[in-house]
């Protein structure tokens, strides 16, 4: 009888939870950075000032409609980039205040690496 050689086939490496999480985070960051208003919201929230933590304050600062900024803030919330930390009554409504999560801070770091002039243009005072 001929000997059968036992050839061990390499198994495909199983994805670890860490690699799956990293992939999920990369997708979330890509989606978050895919729209200019989302990047602007992330940049504004990076300041960490409560005076700049609500969609209405961000909308005033970047001169965009509140509805647009609120929509993008909700998307960032869904993506795990921001988290609500407070609410305050404002003009008969509830104003929601947000801060960057750890994932949101990584997205901000990515913005500063990829496009630092965008951050400078938004946060630096106008010299004219």
Does 47 map to a domain? yes
Cβ pair 21, 27 in contact under 8 A: no
Q: For residue 91, what pLDDT is reported?
A: 84
Does 39 map to a domain? yes
Does 70 map to a domain? yes
What's the rounded Cα separation, in Å, for the pair 17 and 77? 23
Does 42 map to a domain? yes
Does 101 map to a domain? yes
Residue 108: CATH number of its domain? 1.10.10.10
How many independent structural domains does the chain possess?
Answer: 1
Domain that holds residue 50: 28-122
Does 19 map to a domain? no
Q: For residue 20, what pLDDT is reported?
A: 81
First to last CA, the chain: 91
Does 7 map to a domain? no
State the chain's maximal CA–CA distance in angstroms: 91
- pLDDT band, residue 28 (cuts 50/70/90): confident
Q: For residue 34, what pLDDT is reported?
A: 87
Does 127 map to a domain? no
Cβ pair 81, 107 in contact under 8 A: yes
């Amino acid at each position: 009888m001929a000997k059968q050689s036992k050839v061990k086939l390499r198994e495909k490496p199983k994805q670890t939870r860490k690699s799956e999480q990293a992939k999920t985070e990369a997708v979330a960051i890509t989606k978050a950075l895919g729209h200019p208003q989302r990047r602007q919201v992330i940049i504004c929230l990076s300041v960490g000032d409560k005076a700049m933590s609500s969609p209405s304050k961000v909308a005033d600062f970047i001169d965009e409609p509140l509805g647009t900024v609120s929509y993008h803030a909700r998307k960032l919330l869904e993506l795990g980039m921001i988290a609500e930390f407070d609410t305050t009554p404002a003009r008969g409504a509830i104003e929601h205040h947000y801060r960057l999560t750890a994932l949101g801070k990584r997205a901000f770091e990515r913005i500063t690496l990829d496009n630092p002039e965008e951050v400078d243009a938004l946060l630096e005072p106008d010299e004219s």
